[in-house]
Structure 1
Amino acid sequence: MNLQNLGWQPFFQQQLTLDDYEDAVVARISAHHRSGYQLITEKGEVSLPMHDSLPSMTVGDWVLLDHEQQFQRRLERSSVFSRKAAGSKVAEQYIAANIDTVFIVMSLNDDFNLSRIERYLALTNEAQVEAVIVLTKTDLCDDAEALKQQVQSLDPMLMIEAVNALEFDSAQSLTAWCKTGKTVAFLGSSGVGKSTLVNTLLQTEAQKTGSIREDDSKGRHTTTGRTIHQMPSGGVLLDTPGMRELQLANVAQGISETFSDVEEIASQCRFFDCSHQNEPGCAIQKALQSGELDDRRLNNYLKLQREQARNSASLAELRSHDKQLGKMYRSHQSEARNRKNKS
């Protein structure tokens, strides 16, 4: 085992000091549990119990330990993926860190959804990570090429691979992004074939697989946690549980990049604050009438903008509240120490 096989790159190497070379052990988080973290080092696996003193970390993070396997610090990330926690809870949930390429997996059945692809692209573009759309279950689809062209219409530069996840030769097209030193992550909804694809690429039964529901083609959760695997091609593969809900937050730039065509059209409106409804000289309405822009894409753009603004504001308010609470706790602790010293 060496660090390069774990996805180590010059970006992380440059963060080490001379003392780190002598005194620190480099480790990568391979799994996150309620009780703590599982890490991989050049010498094997290490467990790091959860503790309040630890910073927020996620699978894929690089950390430094001392020779007693005690945490020293987390290295700066090259990329990080997060979302607003599912449901009504106001909290940020980390998905993965230090990813080079994201495979956005979508199945070619009734679950096929262009708006969902745009949602994942916004997240990936915000992280400034290379995205590849992977369309699975080609063996169950009669019009795979037509659906692939629909995805391509989102962006002519978008990289798209259509595969049968059950066949190794078909999935081989993805190994071009899975070379030594590279970390790839799989993102997608439940039941799109991620676990099957992971097993095919790893050439082992690393993940459980399950069937989809016949009534609506929706998938069932089979992967229950984010885990790191080493690939025969030399890369590192990070699998994630299927997401029934991906609430976006703090991805304004990612949305702008994903919908750059919409924003380019909007920039031609007569009024700077055009709401794209009934204003004269609205370039968006003109594009809709001419067919240059379709209603679905515009509506999804506006929907994601509203969602990310609402969630970002909620998380900012939470962080402000936590910061003030922290100050209050520290103030009380300081006063308690002063009183103790005086007595």
Structure 2
Amino acid sequence: MSSTSSTSSTPLFTAHSALTPHGWDEDWADVFAPYAAEGLLPGRVIRVDRGQCDVVTAHGVLRADTAFVTPHDPLRVVCTGDWVAVEPDGNPRYVRTYLPRRTAFVRSTSSKRSEGQILAANVDHAIVAVSLAAELDLARIERFLALAWESGAQPLVVLTKADLVPDLVTLGHLVQDVETTAPGVPVLSVSAEQGEGLDVLAAVVAGGTAVLLGQSGAGKSTLANALLGEDVMDVQAIRDVDGKGRHTTTTRNLLVMPGGGVLIDTPGLRGVGLWDASSGVGQVFAEIEELGRDCRFHDCAHESEPGCAVLAAIDTGELPERRLESYRKLMRENQRIVAKTDARVRAEIRKEWKRRGAIGKAAMEAKRGRVR
């Protein structure tokens, strides 16, 4: 990021320096320069709602229409966190374009067409909120982390409602379980009710943009209010039966935190489908990818091949079998998603099916030969 000192600030950056708390910097000013020449205003999208969006500018918050930037590609629509070029006036006022995104958090929709859905843009930290009031679902955490890594943001797992854990020993074991599941990812336990751990979390995300993710009932709205220092987000009690709650956040909102940085809160996500996230999956399961480099065959599927270093690690107890099963599941799901839009991948899948079929057939024939 460029320096923002008075000796190096560009006139465009200085003219809109009121946007600095929302993430405006000299790099964004440089990218925006051609649009400034057209008389357009820079601003950041703080909320999107049915073809309209709220954009914060140096002149205040403007309501603008997104009709000019609503293509057929759902990944190219305006979303919360985008930096945009907006008309200074007009009725209606229009967003003319959004600036190239530094990062983008994308998941697949629940539709049968398996389209991608962009949840937030230009995010530095992806906070995965997980409630300690319910049993940990490590596989779901791995899924969230795969999308977070793929987005280009730095993931962070926050275990909420730590005050409901009976003792510190149990809490330590829970944190350790998640750390094993999330190599290279900071794991923090917090209690928004008691204020524990919030100062550490606020310091981690200060100075950047953080998106808050998690299931309904994970305590995201309570956590957001604690970070913001006021009751901005509605909070509802969760059910005692299953630890779940109703969706209290219905839109994605971008809010400035008092200690620095901005926070994008999101609705609770029931479904978290992968969207072309092979790199993200690889980072979540970094130890499996590392072991795989020592397999005898470079295309080893880690199933029954001879000389498989991953299976050997399972046998010795170095690698938990649950991790390998989760890795296989996410890789298969991601491959199916990519195959729907990539003919080359579809051909590779068919080729792999044939290869495995031939191996199975040869094994059966060898077995019959031994029986005879």
Pairwise same-fold verdict (TM > 0.5): yes
**Number of the residue aligned with 2:118:** 94
Matching residue's letter, 1:214: D
Mapped to 1, the partners of 2:196 and 2:311 lie a distance apart of 46
1:149 corresponds to 2:149: no
SS of structure 2 residue aligned to 1:119: helix
- The 8 Å contact of residues 177 and 184 in structure 1, kept in 2 or not, is answered as no
**Number of the residue aligned with 2:151:** 127
Distance verdict in 2 for CA 1:281–1:211, change over 3 Å: same
Deviations along 1:128-173, one digit per CA (max 9) or x if unpaired, are 2111110111111131110101111235532111000223353222
Q: Which runs of 5+ in 2 are unaligned?
A: 1-16, 72-76, 344-372
Matching residue's letter, 1:38: D
1:115 corresponds to 2:139: yes
Instruction: List structure 1 segments (4+ residues) > 6 angstroms apart after TM superposition.
Output: none
Mapped to 2, the partners of 1:47 and 1:160 lie a distance apart of 38
Of 47, 53, 71, the match for 1:37: 53
Mapped to 2, the partners of 1:253 and 1:185 lie a distance apart of 20
Distance verdict in 2 for CA 1:179–1:113, change over 3 Å: same
Matching residue's letter, 2:206: K
Distance verdict in 2 for CA 1:260–1:38, change over 3 Å: same
SS of structure 1 residue aligned to 2:173: helix
**Number of the residue aligned with 1:209:** 235
Of 103, 108, 112, the match for 1:79: 103
Deviations along 1:182-210, one digit per CA (max 9) or x if unpaired, are 21110111101100011111121111112
Aligned length: 316
Q: Shift of residue 22 of structure 1? A: 7.1
Deviations along 1:260-292, one digit per CA (max 9) or x if unpaired, are 210111221212232322222121211111111
Distance verdict in 2 for CA 1:226–1:301, change over 3 Å: same
**Number of the residue aligned with 2:86:** 65
Matching residue's letter, 1:129: A
Of 337, 353, 357, the match for 1:311: 337
Q: Shift of residue 312 of structure 1? A: 2.2
1:252 corresponds to 2:268: no
Distance verdict in 2 for CA 1:316–1:4, change over 3 Å: farther
Q: Which runs of 5+ in 1 are unaligned?
A: 318-343
- The 8 Å contact of residues 199 and 205 in structure 1, kept in 2 or not, is answered as yes
1:277 corresponds to 2:303: yes
Of 1, 11, 17, the match for 2:33: 17
> RMSD value over aligned CA atoms?
2.0
Which segment is superposed worse, 187-196 or 167-176?
167-176
Q: Shift of residue 258 of structure 1? A: 1.5
Mapped to 2, the partners of 1:130 and 1:289 lie a distance apart of 33
Mapped to 2, the partners of 1:13 and 1:29 lie a distance apart of 16
Which segment is superposed worse, 280-289 or 192-201?
280-289
RCO greater where, 1 or 2, for CA within 8 Å and sep 6 or more? 1
**Number of the residue aligned with 1:176:** 203
TM-score (norm 2): 0.80
Distance verdict in 2 for CA 1:274–1:19, change over 3 Å: closer
Distance verdict in 2 for CA 1:19–1:37, change over 3 Å: closer
Distance verdict in 2 for CA 1:19–1:256, change over 3 Å: closer
Q: Shift of residue 73 of structure 1? A: 2.1
Q: How does 1:225-240 map to 2 (within 5 A)?
A: 225-240=251-266
Q: Shift of residue 67 of structure 1? A: 2.5
- The 8 Å contact of residues 179 and 187 in structure 2, kept in 1 or not, is answered as yes
Mapped to 2, the partners of 1:22 and 1:266 lie a distance apart of 53
**Number of the residue aligned with 2:67:** 51
TM-score (norm 1): 0.86
Matching residue's letter, 2:23: G
Q: Shift of residue 89 of structure 1? A: 4.2
- The 8 Å contact of residues 92 and 315 in structure 1, kept in 2 or not, is answered as no
**Number of the residue aligned with 1:105:** 129
**Number of the residue aligned with 1:4:** 20
Which segment is superposed worse, 296-305 or 156-165?
156-165
Q: What is the identity percentage for the equivalent residue pairs of Structure 1 and Structure 2?
A: 35
SS of structure 2 residue aligned to 1:2: helix
- The 8 Å contact of residues 111 and 217 in structure 1, kept in 2 or not, is answered as no
